[in-house]
Chains A and B, each alone.
Chain A
């Protein structure tokens, strides 16, 4: 306002401001990419410099002339008059499906019937007799009447005994499986919906800024592939991040890529450390 007399119009002043911004710059790099630098003013009045590196690839595809001609056919029926390109009301893109054919798919698939699962559960479980340490149930031990259970004199049953066989406590007739054992055998339908938790494609991110939000992490990590789950540990009282998080991908190769790229990435004022999560027990 104290500039030149007669130039008090606010609109013009604004104009002058934007003129001071440097022009957009496009530089071609040696490796065939382009760097585009643009300047803009944010809502809060601060000047922002945006640098983008873009790689342009031309994909040439030879199509049958008949097919090429059909691509330019006019739309008709319910589509009449609609612009070219897929319409969002009729066409959408579904979530990525990893389809990898494998020989002997049946055996590798976990889609087995309930009874089979239980049988396998029992097969894997190590049965150890508390009396003679043989591989049978304590109740079926041939020395049941003659010997007392190992390492104890009292009759109180040790509660922490043979947790592997817990799925079949009570002589194998019971179908109860304690919650902490359910996950790995996959008994029943899993809670938590569509994604089976895949530890193989889960990253552990540490040294996360305490002001981080789950969405920030999701934004950063979804660059490398479809992120199925983001868990950011937070303090219950302060609601601030505790400094570590887990990010799961639908695909392990995406996870590996993200692990490589994001390890050492500066976020907030800290350097992220990214590694594959260790298998939880």
Chain B
């Protein structure tokens, strides 16, 4: 496996995402620039300029026509993927920590930060999936998180629920039509922030990662904890791989502690766990800072990771990855 190193960013990466066909990778970093890259060879398609602050989040709609970003300049922006043109800017009182399109691409969700008198909110806009169309300023839904601020959020299958992860380690389920809080569960350790929430391909379950050094798979309907993956380092991101039943966890020592420890101890590796058996099966090294985000190719052909070191590493899995099976899995396959 020979990773492709994308070095177009000057500061730490905050999120990387594949589009639904897996041919383009979008990356956002604290250097205010959004990058688009071809995943097969690492060629940069272009950059999106306009943000005035560090970027926290990016998402692309299912047809790869619209791109949403959010950042510390208190704006959420919509771009045309093909040309890099800025289509729409929504302004807020605080920064945007997470954006996500609904599975059909007609709704866009944003999570705002809690700061100085402003509570954290989850806002939803109706989106017209056409780069020519005038997008609305009107929020179709606004959920105020008065208990603990939301750090991550996303739409469930068919956009029935909005699932949010909170700073206190709990996970909430909201009705995506009314915004009513249906259910809240303390999935991770108390006061350990949930750092990432990524969906399984069918969105009936999802994986959360937390600063409590664990990642968990929860069922979307019941918020029941199905699987737990424990590690020895705070986690920043977790992803579920299609095709093979693995999960990839990324993390590492907090950026501020890095200089006091060696790269070996920093644990800056992508960790692969078996999704069902919850057992670690391997690690991939390479970054020399914590991994801030890991994203998996939608067809399960590879993954990419964005690190605090400013690099995106794109990996294409090779044969041993696909061949690996537990004894029981092999027996099952031979039946």
Contacts and interface: CB of A to CB of B under 8 A. Distances in A.
Interface string A96-122: 111111111110010000000000000
B7 A92 contact: yes
A94 B83 contact: no
A205 to B, nearest CB: 26
B47 A67 contact: no
Interface stretch (A76-84, A166-174, A262-270): A76-84
A67 to B, nearest CB: 4
Contact of B46 (A78, A84, A103): A78
Contact of B3 (A76, A86, A97): A97
Chief secondary structure at chain A's binding surface: loop
A91 B7 contact: yes
Contact of B24 (A70, A75, A76, A189): A70
Contact of A99 (B33, B45, B46, B282): B282
B242 interface: no
Interface string B276-287: 000111111110
A76 B37 CA distance: 11
A79 B47 contact: yes
A12 B41 CA distance: 48
Contact of B284 (A86, A95, A97, A104): A97
B146 interface: no
A87 B317 CA distance: 23
A10 interface: no
Interface in B34-56: 37-38, 41-49
Contacts of A6: none
A153 interface: no
Contacts of A91: 4-8, 37, 41-44
Contacts of A93: 2-5, 42
Interface stretch (B178-186, B205-213, B318-326): B318-326
B84 interface: yes
A80 B49 CA distance: 12
Nearest to B277: A103
A100 B279 contact: no
Contacts of B137: none
A80 B47 CA distance: 9
Given A77-B46, A87-B44, A102-B282, A94 B5 contact: yes
Interface string B62-73: 001000000000
Interface of A: 63-64, 66-67, 70-71, 73, 75-80, 84-87, 89-106, 109, 189
Given A86-B41, A91-B4, A99-B282, 10 more contacts: A66-B64, A67-B23, A76-B47, A77-B48, A78-B46, A79-B46, A97-B2, A97-B315, A99-B318, A105-B283
9 contacts: A80-B46, A86-B41, A86-B44, A91-B7, A93-B2, A98-B1, A102-B282, A102-B324, A105-B280
Which 5 residue pairs spanning A and B have beta carbons closest together? A77-B47, A76-B46, A91-B42, A101-B324, A76-B84
